Amino acid sequence: MSVTDRNGKPVADVVVYATPRGPAPAKSDPRATAVMDQVSRQFKPRVLVVETGTLVEFPNSDAVSHHVYSFSAAKRFELPLYRGTAYSPVLFDKPGIVVLGCNIHDSMLGYIAVVDSPHFNFTDSKGRATLTGLAPGDYAVQVWTPRSREDLAPRRLRVAASDDAAPVVDFQFEAKLFPPFDPGQGSLTWSDY
Amino acid sequence: MVRLLTPTVIVGLAWAGVTTAAEHSEDRHHFSLQLALSYTSASTPLVSWTEGGVGKLRYDENNDGFTGARAFAEYRGQITPTLSVTAIADYVDDASAGLDLTEAYLSWLPVPKSPNRTQWRFGAFYPPVSLENTGTGWSSPYTRSYSAINTWIGEEVRVFGAEWSMRRRLGGPASPHRLRFLAAGFYGNDPAGTLVTFKGWSLHDRQTRLYDELPLPNGNALRPFLKIDQQPGYYAGLEWRYAKLLLIRAIHYDNRADPNEFSGGEWGWDTRFNHIGTQVQGPWQLGIVAQWLQGNTVWILGATPGGQIVGSGPLISTDFESSFVLLTRQLKGHRFSVRYDDFDVSDGTGQVDNGHGWTLAYQYKATPRITVGAEWLSLDTWHPRWSFLGLNPSATERQLQLGVSIRLGK
């Protein structure tokens, strides 16, 4: 898979996932767990992809407390003011994009992409991502990045049993992307109150 | 209801908050001690305004040497996950020595249920004018002496009231654009404008505490945060932020004081100002802070703060304006900053205070708790009325400070 911006330049850190068409295969049990950490007043990773039905832990590795919340339709929840691992993992049982915030540190921003598939990956610095373990069949391939202002239409991918070379799907964003995340190591102390 | 937000009640509430929050484990407290060797020179024999003179700096030629500039404690504690208390207590080394608060307020941050995030503050606090005083205890991370604008805010502006603000990310949660609206209603701060009218602009780091009495050049004392009349004041503003590259904030302030009202030894000064400020992260790690403030105060001639009611004279309108640009660069533990200030006060008779100044500062963070620094400041000013005091109306004041800041706490 490859992802480029409107000028044809590769875009890194884009989520690419393939959802099987037709009846979904049975999910593995016990449930998978994933971790969204909080380090140096940032969510780590900034973007996490999980399959629908995954439990996500939200440890706080900072010395200061965080207050994690989301008002996204895919998951509304709140973990009031805590340090360390104060709460049990949170179940993400609906597909969609969950935007995470911290009510104490408003500049903290994280995302959980909940997808109906175990086949996902991120693009590398060349804008390329490889999906492995795809059984023969029809898939809808989709991409997502918080930098995008648009939803690109899913592309169809057919994996045949006899394929030697993996098929390639190309995506191109048409609208200008938001700039990549910059943790901001400048000379200023920003005014907040 | 009107009497509800008196300073005493607010400080009492904040203190109750502090004692409740102190049992929580989420509190943060800083203690900071700032010491300096200070050397001042002036082209005409000036006495510092802090000792009742007209000198613009905090110290004059008679105070050369060691100064215990400031000791402060800032406490922030969570009462509930969305309600916190902040209190800053200051000790200053001058005639009004002792311990007093510079700010004490409750912050309420309800958990957002939409892309709009609201925030409330209740108590005694600074209107968010300064883009320079972003350190703990409203200190400046860049220089020891504040710009003329923020020195004045520290001297004469503090409100007792409620502030609402709402920020919204424009164009989705990943958009770097953030817009913020803010509005506040308050009581008190009715004598604001007295000091800038009588003394003019200054550059220093002395913040007026909530119950301080400041000396005026006419021998009287000023308590700038008093409530004189029943009319609430307000301020409102707008802020735009682009990632960690740019911030622009504009504020209009009006204390809506009645200049014919006299209470507690002070007259009301009807003071309003417009302010716009910006923070920019430029190329080569260069940080830029710039602010502009233009204000006006209407007062009654014969008003003698701290004295008798001798008012009933004509109303006088005094205009004041100032701007500054500060450049700063941080390289590991070293920080270099340079600031240019320009200021002016005028009334119907023309200019009464006019000048500009340069501040050069270097700081080195020797350990996480100890910062040492040097600051050189030069002010050129002109005041036609100083000739009545036997002073040269054109003055140059210079000051060198070698300082150390010690921080404790978590």
Instruction: With a cut of 90, say whether residue A134 has pLDDT above it.
Output: no
pLDDT at B180: 96
pLDDT at B308 over 80: no
Highest mean pLDDT among B12-21, B349-358, B387-396: B349-358
Pick from A178, A189, A192: which is nearest to B141 by CB?
A189
Chain B residues with beta carbon closer than 8 angstroms to that of A41: none
Is the model's pLDDT at B59 over the cut of 80? yes
Each domain of chain B, given as residue ranges in start order, spans 37-67+107-409
Distance from CA of B350 to the nearest CA of A (A): 36
Q: Do B243 and A187 touch (CB under 8 A)?
A: no
Kindly determine whether residue B81 and residue A189, on different chains, have CB atoms separated by under 8 Å. no
The residue type found at B2 is V
Cβ distance B109 to A104 less than 8 Å, yes or no, reads yes
| Per-residue confidence band for B1, with pLDDT thresholds at 50, 70 and 90 | very low
DSSP 8-state symbol, B303: -
Residue B28 has pLDDT above 90, yes or no: no
Q: Between residues A193 and B129, which one has the greater pLDDT? A: B129
Residue B321 has pLDDT above 50, yes or no: yes
- Tell whether the model's pLDDT for residue A90 goes beyond 90: yes
Mean pLDDT for B50-67 is: 90
Q: Which of B13-27, B125-139, B294-308 has the lowest mean pLDDT?
A: B13-27
Considering only residues 133 to 152 of chain A, which have any Cβ-Cβ distance to chain B shorter than 8 Å?
Answer: 146-147, 149
Residue B11 above 80 pLDDT? no
For the stretch A27-64, pLDDT in tens is 655 678 999 999 999 999 999 999 999 999 999 999 88
- Which of A96-105, B79-88, B310-319 shows the lowest per-residue confidence on average (mean pLDDT)? B310-319
**What is A2-23+31-172's CATH number, 3.40.50.970, 3.40.1160.10, 2.60.40.420, 3.30.70.2860?**
2.60.40.420
A73 in contact with B, Cβ within 8 Å:
no
Q: What pLDDT score was predicted for residue B278?
A: 98
Q: If interface means Cβ-Cβ distance under 8 Å, which residues of chain B face chain A? A: 26, 28, 78, 81-82, 109, 111-114, 117, 121, 128, 130-131, 134-135, 141, 167, 171-176, 243-244, 247, 249, 279, 281, 285-287, 289, 328-330, 335, 410
Instruction: Provide the shortest C-alpha distance from residue A129 to chain B (in Å).
Output: 22
Beta strands A33-35 and A54-57, pairing class: parallel
Residue B218, pLDDT above cutoff 90: no
Chain pair A-B, CB pairs under 8 angstroms: 82
pLDDT at B4 over 50: no
pLDDT at site B309: 55
Judge whether residue B265 has pLDDT over 90. no
Q: Is A69 on the interface with B (CB under 8 A)?
A: yes
**Distance between CA atoms of B281 and B145, rounded to whole angstroms?**
22
Inter-chain residue contact A184 with B281, CB threshold 8 Å: yes
Whether A68 shows a pLDDT value over 50: the answer reads: yes
Distance (Å) from the C-alpha of residue B348 to the closest C-alpha of chain A? 37
- Contact between residue B82 and residue B113 where contact means Cβ atoms under 8 Å apart: no
Q: How confident is the model at residue B262 (pLDDT cuts 50, 70, 90)?
A: confident
Sign of CA dihedral B142, B143, B147, B150: positive
How many angstroms separate the CA of residue B117 from the nearest CA in chain A?
A: 9
Contact B26 A65 (CB under 8 A): yes
Question: Which residues touch A1 (CB under 8 Å, ≥6 apart)?
Answer: A16, A121, A123, A128, A129, A130, A131, A141, A143, A168, A169, A170, A171
- Mean of all residue pLDDT scores within chain B: 89
Inspect the interface and report whether the beta carbons of B244 and A192 lie closer than 8 Å. Answer: no
Could you tell me which chain A residue has the CA closest to the CA of B128?
A: A193
Determine the distance in angstroms separating the CA of B408 from the nearest CA of chain A, rounded to an integer. 16
Residue in chain B nearest A103 by alpha carbon: B111
Residue type, B163: E
Rounded average pLDDT over B129-136 = 96
Q: Is B112 close to A71, i.e. CB distance below 8 A?
A: yes
Whether CATH 1.20.1440 fits B37-67+107-409: no
Nearest to A191 among B279, B328, B330 (CB): B279
CA angle at B324 for the pair B169 and B50, rounded to the nearest 5°? 115
The yes-or-no verdict on residue A182 having pLDDT over 50 is: yes
- Residue B377 identity (one-letter amino acid): L
Q: Name the percent of chain B lying above pLDDT 70.
A: 90
Contacts of A147 in chain B (CB under 8 A): 174
| Beta carbons of B112 and A191 less than 8 Å apart | no
What residue ranges do the domains of chain A occupy? 2-23+31-172
Residue predicted with more confidence, B60 or B264: B60
B45: confidence class by pLDDT, cuts 50, 70, 90: confident
Name which residue leads in pLDDT, B388 or B84: B84
CB distance B289–A188 less than 8 Å?
Answer: yes
CB–CB of A188 and B335 under 8 A? no
What tokens were used for B164?
A: 């609402």
- The residue among B297 and B308 whose pLDDT is bigger is B297
Write out the DSSP string of chain A: -EEE-TTS-B--S-EEEEEESSSPPPPPSSPPEEE-EEETTEEESSEEEEETTEEEE--B-SSS-EEEEEEETTEEEEEEEESBS-SPPEEE-S-EEEEEEESS-TT-EEEEEEES-S-EEE--TTSB-----PPSEEEEEEEE-TT-SS-PPPEEEEE-TT-SSPP--EEE--SPPPPPP-----S------
Distances (CA, A) of B7 to B126, B299, B306: 14, 24, 19
Amino acid B300: pLDDT: 85
Tens of pLDDT, residue by residue over B223-239, are 999 999 999 999 999 99
The residue that leads in pLDDT, A15 or B7, is: A15
Closest chain B residue to the Cα of A97, Cα to Cα: B173
Q: What is the ipTM of this complex?
A: 0.84
Label residue B171 by pLDDT band (50, 70, 90): confident
Q: What is the mean pLDDT of residues A158-182?
A: 83
B145 pLDDT band, cuts 50/70/90, is very high
| CA atoms within a 13 Å half-sphere pointing along the CA-CB vector of B10 | 30
Distance from CA of A147 to the nearest CA of B (A): 6
